[in-house]
Amino acid sequence: MLTRIIMCMIVYVMFIIIQPALETFDFSKGFNEENVRSWSDEYIMPNYDMTKITQVNSEQTQDVTYTLGEPFEEDGSVTLDSEYQGTFHVYDDPGVFRMVLTNDGSVTGVYTNSDDVSVGQMNFEGLDRLKVEEIYGEPVSTISKGMQRLVVENDEYDVFDLEDSYVYFFYDLHENDEVSGMLVIDKDELDVNNVLYNNPDAEEYEQMNWYMLNAARIEYGLEPLEIDGEVSAVAKSHSTDMAEREYFDHDSPEGSTLKDRVEDADIRYRLAGENIATGHTSPIFSHHSLMNSLDHRVNILNADYTHIGLGVDYSDEDVPYYTENFIER
């Protein structure tokens, strides 16, 4: 009986731990020392030279600094649920926007679009894609999320494995690949139910989207947009329609357009525009993707707009649909 139990445990370990790891090994390159070492460095025990990061960033003076693992004291910031285990605390201070992820009273992650915010010794002041890769080496192509390996190869950002955490650098493809945002996240925060989407209430993502969009406008010297409840209802209805009927388009299958939806709601406006996105696990990723699309970027950075309506909804498979409706009153 004991032998059978031990054998079952061995099989379980092989299935849960060894089998997912072996899936990342490229056997087409051969089972040789160089290939095994390269695979081990990326998937088993990454070993980045942290002194390079210290050397590059130690002389820079940042306005706000956080350290993963440090205690976090409640201070009246806006709290929002996240796709991770922890909760974001949002600080929409002009020029130093950041969202601090906390769990059990400790800092477990930070997102910022400001080069005046540091996480430990990391910030993105003066960095572009080439400089990032000079400092951090080769980005990883996958990350661990519970028992899954998720592909993170993307032109819009790079991800680096720093032993206990991941750091994402988001690039602005229309500003010579300059870094426009940074997300540092404790690896334990990604261990959520072994699913791709761990969605909070849609209202949490709508509010997060609003903060991020206005933070981007402020970085470009533009006025923030005021949330309009009527316009948000229009945006929400479109996200819900796309999620329920599983299509992705500015026009409904019956041909209803943004103009139709806004005017059907008796909303007065001078100018209107719409951004939509789907599939992104949070507004952090949808926002940077929209900023890298010229057709959507012009809406986010249009100085004429005065109000914004935001709607998020999820399909039966939990796929998020995001709608941003811009209005000039």
Separation of alpha carbons 104 and 114, rounded Å: 26
State the pLDDT at residue 2. Answer: 55
Task: Express each pLDDT in 138-176 by its tens digit.
Answer: 999 999 877 777 889 999 999 999 989 999 999 999 999
Q: How many other β-carbons are positioned within 10 Å of the β-carbon of residue 234?
A: 23
- Three-class DSSP category at 112: strand
State the pLDDT at residue 97. Answer: 97
Angle at the Cα of 258 from the Cα atoms of 225 and 264, rounded to 5 degrees? 100
Could you tell me how far CA 144 lies from the centroid of its own chain?
A: 15
Residue owning tokens 């699913």 = 195
From 114, 86, 113, select the one nearest 102 (Cα to Cα): 86
Angle at the Cα of 163 from the Cα atoms of 56 and 142, rounded to 5 degrees? 100
Residues 6+ apart with CB under 8 A from 252: 238, 241
**Partners of 128 in beta bridges:** 178
Q: Which two tokens stand for residue 233?
A: 């209802």
Residues above pLDDT 90, as percent of the chain: 73
DSSP secondary structure code for residue 122 in this structure: B
Separation of alpha carbons 82 and 283, rounded Å: 10
Chain-wide mean pLDDT for the chain?
A: 86
User: Is residue 221's pLDDT more than 50?
Assistant: yes
Full 3-state SS string of 198-266: CCCCHHHHHHHHHHHHHHHHHHCCCCCCEECHHHHHHHHHHHHHHHHHCCCCCCCCCCCCHHHHHHHCC
Task: Express each pLDDT in 180-208 by its tens digit.
Answer: 999 999 999 998 766 778 899 999 999 99
Between residues 50 and 80, the one the model is more confident about: 80
Q: Which two tokens stand for residue 194?
A: 């072994």
